[in-house]
A and B are shown apart, each in its own frame.
Chain A
Amino acid sequence: MIRVAFAAVFALLALPAQAIEIQEVISPGGIEAWLVEDESIPFVALDIQFRGGASLDAEGKRGAVNLMTGLLEEGAAKRNATEFAQAVADLGARLSFDAGDDTVSVGFQSLSENRDEAADLLAEALTQPRFDDDAIERVRAQVQAIIRSEATDPNSIAAKEMAAQAWGDHPYATSVNGTRESVAKLGRQDLVAAKNRVLARDRVVVGAAGDISAEELGLLLDRILGGLPETGTAPLPEDADLQLSGGTTVIDWNSPQTVVAFAGPGLPIDDPDYFAAYVANHILGGGGFSSRLMEEIREKRGLTYGIGTGLATGLYGQTWQGGMAGSNQTTAEAVELIRQEWAKMSEGVTQQELADAKTYLTGEYPLRFDGNGRIASILAGMQLIGLPIDYIDTRNAQVEAVTVEDVTRVAERLLDPEQLRFVLVGQPEGIEPTTADATTN
C-alpha cells in the first residue's frame, strides 16, 4: 500500500528541477513574494530580506544595524526577552535574524498548525521591538566580545585588512559589527533610527516554500510585514569603488601557519562575462578537489589542507578572491604558485576542463532545490539580484554557452597577477611585504 503510493509520487516528481514552479504572489496589502508550494511536509519556510543591511549604518554609527538586528528577538510589544522566547518555543516556531553587508535577513519556519500565531510574534519583533535597556547592554557585551575575539583570529584579521584596502570610505571597508568605540557609544535612539533606516516595505524581498497556498501566503505577508513603514529613512547604499592594488601585505602573527588571503577585481552577476568568470573560477579554484590550485598546492605538494577561490558578488561591490593556510616555511612557495596559476588562466583552458566544469555546474544546480528552507533562500536571493522569475529555466543554458575564448577573455580582463593583493597573517619565511604597514591593527 505504502509502496504503491511512493511509486506514484516518484513518477510525478522525478522531473528535472527546471520543472519547479514559482508563483508570484502579491498580498492584498501590496507586498510581493515568490512561492514554491509543496504540501508534503506540514510547515512553511520564509526567507525575508531587507536590502541595504548593515551598509545603511548612519555616519559614525557603525554597528547600529547589527546591534539592532540582534535585539529584535530580545523582547517585543508586551513580552520581555524571556517571555518572547518562551512564546516562540511554545509554538515550536523558529525565528532567526542576521545583519550582513547587503541585507538584514529574517528566517521564519512555522508548523502549519499554528502558522498565524507564529507570524504574529514575528510581526511584533519587526514592528514593536522593545530595545529594553538590560537587553541592549547584554547584546552589546556579546558584540564587543565578538569584536575582541576577531582581533585575535588570524582569518578575521586577514579579512578585515583586505576589506580595508579594497573599499575605502564605503561601509564594505569595515566590519558590520562596528568597532569597540562605535559600539560602546550606541544608544537606544540609534537603534530605533537604524531600524527605521532598514526595516521597511519598500526594500523587502520574500522567498517562501512549503505547505502554504498563494492566497494564504498573501494574508501571512500582510500579517507579518503590513505594520512596517512604507519607506525606509535612508536611501539604499551607493556602489563601492574597488581600490585594491597588487602587492603583498604581511601582518605579524605568532602561529605555526600563515593565513593567506588574496583578492583582485571581480564582476557583478549582471555583467555579460559573469558566466564565463563563473566557469573560469570553477577551473581555477572553485571546484573543490579537482581545481587547478588544489591540484598544484595540496595534491602535488601537500602545502595546505585546502585552498579555494570564489567570486564575491556583493550587491554594491565585487572581488575575485581566495584563501588558504599553510606552514610559515612554505608560504612563499604557495604564494608563488597561486600567482602562476592566476596568470596561467589567460593562456586558456582545455576543452576537457571546460567540459568538466560545465557538467559539474549544470549538474549541481538542480541539487540545490532539495528542501523548503533552501528553496525559500534561493527565491529571496534571485529577487535581491534582480534575476527574472524564469532564471532557473535558462541558467544552465547560459553556463553551457561559455566557450574557451570566453574564459580566456574574462581571465585576461580580470585575472592579472599584477593586480592581485595578498594579505598574509603569520610569520611567512622569505617574503618581502610590498606594503610595509597594514592599514588596520
Chain B
Amino acid sequence: MRRPAFRPALATALALTTSLAALSARAEMPEGISHFTLPNGLETVVIEDHRAPVVVQMVWYQIGAADEVPGKSGIAHYLEHLMFKGTDKLEAGELSKTVTSNGGSDNAFTSWDYTAYFQRIASDRLPLIMEMEADRMENLSISDDDWKAERQVVLEERAQRVDSDPAALFAEEMNAVVFDNHPYGRPIIGWRDEIAALTREDAIDWYDTHYGPDDAVLILAGDVTPEKARRLAEEYYGDIPAKAEDAPRIRPQEPVKQTARRIEMTDPRVAQPRMTRSTLAPERDPGQQRQAAALTVLADLLGGSTQTSVLGQALVLPGTALWAGASYSGLSLDRTEFTLSLVPSAGVTPEEAEAALDEALATFLEEGPDPADLERVKTRIRAAQIYARDSAHGRAYDYGQGLSTGLTVEDVNDWPDILSAVTAEDIMEVARMVLTDQGSVTGWLLPEAVETAAGAPAAGAPETPANAQEVQP
C-alpha cells in the first residue's frame, strides 16, 4: 500500500483530535534527540547519552525480505551475511576483527522491512567504525571463495533455528496462511530450496540495487554530540552517491478475507499443545498512529501480565490455561497482525481452552476495559519512557525500526503521547476489528499423541509474532 498523496492533510486533521500533549510533543525534540539529512539522502538520528564513553552506530537499510521477488526468498538475509566478506579495502572478516580487537562488538539482522548493521564501541573509536561501515555501503566485494561457504552457513542457520524447532516451523506455516498474498507470508531466512539456489550474482544484484545512502538511516547513539555526529557523517558518508532510481516499495497487499481458517501441525518434539490466532491489523503510519496505539494498549490489556490482564484473569488464574497472551507491534511497512496465544492446562482439551478464550473475548467486547486497568497501562507506559532512557542502544532500535518502516522522527517522538491519549472508545473500535472470526487464522501445534492427562506441560510464553522475528548472521 503506497501512502496516498492526501495523507499529510489527513494527518493534520487527525492530529487535531488527539490531545494537546501530543501536539506539543510535535513542537520539539525529546531531550538528547536530534536529526539531520545529508545531501545524498542519508537521514541521521543522534541519541545522546554521555553517562559512559560508549557509542553505538546502526545503519538501517530500508530493504528487507518482503522486498524480494518470488523464487529468491532469503536473498536479503544472505546478502546481510555477505556484507561481512570484505570490500576493496577490507579483507573478508576484517571489519568484525577490527571492531573486536578494539574492544567493540558488531552484528546485523534482517527483517521483512529492513536490514540493519551495528557496532558498539568506545566513543573515541567512532570514526573507525564509521569509516568501515561507509566503505561497505559503497564498495562491497564478494570473493569466489566466500559466497558458497557462507550459503552453507545460512543453511546451517536455518537448520538450527527453524528446521530443528517445531515451534519455528509452525510459525512459518502460520505466517504463510495469514499472509497468502503479501510477501510477509515468506520466511525472512528463506525457504530451504530457494536459499540453496541463491548465487553470488543474486547477491551482488541485490546490493547494487538497494544499498545506498538514500536507502539508509544512520543512527548514532551514546557518547556523541550532534555536532560531532554531523561532522563525521559528512566526512565518511557524505561522498557516497545516491542510487539513481529510488523504486517505491510497493508490494502485493492482502485481500479482504471472507473466512476463518484453521491449521494444525503435529510433531513428536512438541511437549505441549499451544494455540496461536492471528488477524490482520493496521500498522503505524506517518501521522496516523492512533489505531496502532489503541491496538498496542489492547494487547497489553488482554495479555500483559498473568495476574492482571483480561486473559490472565479469565484463563490462567482459574487454571484453564498455563499461559495466555496477546501481542501486536505496529512497526511494519504494510498491514501487520494482532495475535492471541494460549497453552492449555493439564486435563484441559484444546477445544475447551479455545472455547474459554472465545468466551473471555466476547465478555471483553461486551464490557470494555476496566478503567483502573487502563489507568495502570498508562502508568506503565509513562514509567517505561523513563526506564528506556537507561539504554541508548534500545532507543536506537526505536528510531531505526520506525524510520525503516515508513515513519518520521516526529512520529517516533510522538508515540508515547499518542499511547497515553488512547481512550476506552479507541480500544473498543480496534477490538471489534481484530477480535473477530472473519479473516482469522487459528493454528494448533500439537504433540504426536495428545495426552492432556497428568502434568501436561510446556514452554512458557510462546514466541513473539512473526513480524518481530529477526535473523542475525
Q: Which residues of A are at the interface with B, using a C-beta cutoff of 8 A? A: 2-3, 6-7, 9-10, 13-17, 38, 40-43, 45, 73-74, 81-82, 84-86, 89-94, 109, 111, 134, 137-138, 141-142, 144-149, 151-152, 154, 180, 184, 254-257, 287-290, 298-305, 325-327, 356, 359-367, 369-373
Contact = CB atoms under 8 A, between A and B. Distances in A.
Contact of A90 (B51, B54, B120, B376): B376
B150 A367 contact: no
Nearest to A43: B386
A17 B32 CA distance: 21
B160 to A, nearest CB: 5
A432 B221 CA distance: 51
List 9 tightest A-B contacts by C-beta distance, closest first.
A363-B103, A148-B457, A92-B383, A302-B152, A85-B307, A370-B52, A305-B157, A145-B457, A149-B459
A3 B201 CA distance: 48
Contacts of A326: 156
B160 A180 contact: no
B346 A141 contact: yes
Contact of A13 (B50, B105, B122, B271): B50
Contacts of B156: 257, 302-305, 325-327
Contacts of A370: 49, 51-52, 54, 222, 391-392
B460 A43 contact: no
B257 interface: no
Nearest to B304: A89
A356 B100 contact: yes
Given A363-B102, A364-B105, 16 more contacts: A10-B50, A13-B51, A42-B386, A84-B307, A89-B379, A92-B379, A145-B460, A152-B270, A256-B164, A288-B105, A289-B97, A289-B100, A304-B160, A325-B156, A367-B54, A373-B390
A6 B51 CA distance: 11
A302 B150 contact: yes
A367 B347 CA distance: 50
B322 A145 contact: yes
A148 B273 CA distance: 12
B317 interface: yes
B93 A6 contact: no
Contacts of B150: 302
B40 interface: no
A305 B152 CA distance: 9
Contacts of A147: 457
B153 interface: yes
A151 B271 contact: yes
Contacts of A42: 386
Contacts of B120: 367
Contacts of A149: 271-272, 457-459
Nearest to B149: A302
A289 B341 CA distance: 36
B457 A146 contact: yes
Nearest to A45: B390
B471 to A, nearest CB: 10
B125 to A, nearest CB: 8
Contacts of A301: 149, 152
Contacts of B48: 6
Contacts, number: 229
A144 B457 contact: yes
B271 A2 contact: no
Given A146-B457, A149-B459, A92 B101 contact: no
Contacts of A43: 386-387, 390
B53 A2 contact: no
Contacts of B386: 41-43, 92, 111
Interface in B251-291: 268-272
Contacts of B458: 145-146, 148-149
Nearest to A326: B156
A162 B49 CA distance: 43
Contacts of A361: 103
Interface string B294-323: 000000000001111000010011010011
A366 B50 contact: no
Interface string B162-201: 0110000000000000000000000000000000000000
Interface in B426-455: 455
Given A85-B305, A288-B100, A359-B103, A302 B457 contact: no
Nearest to B163: A256
B99 to A, nearest CB: 9
Contacts of A73: 307
B374 to A, nearest CB: 12
A426 to B, nearest CB: 9
B313 A94 contact: no
A141, A144, A288 interface centre (most CB from chain B within 10 Å): A141
A298 B153 contact: yes
Given A42-B386, A289-B96, A367-B52, A85 B308 contact: yes
Given A17-B53, A92-B382, A371 B390 contact: yes
A40 B50 CA distance: 10
Contact of B319 (A137, A305, A373): A137
Nearest to B97: A290
B37 interface: no
Contacts of B307: 73-74, 81-82, 84-86
14 contacts: A6-B48, A13-B53, A14-B53, A41-B390, A82-B317, A85-B308, A89-B376, A92-B383, A146-B459, A149-B457, A288-B105, A290-B97, A304-B153, A359-B103
Contacts of B390: 41, 43, 45, 371-373
B121 interface: yes
A45 B343 CA distance: 33
Nearest to A184: B455
Nearest to A352: B101
A214 B468 CA distance: 41
B317 A367 contact: no
A142 B317 CA distance: 12
A256 B53 CA distance: 45
Contacts of A142: 322-323, 460
Contacts of A257: 156, 159-160, 163-164
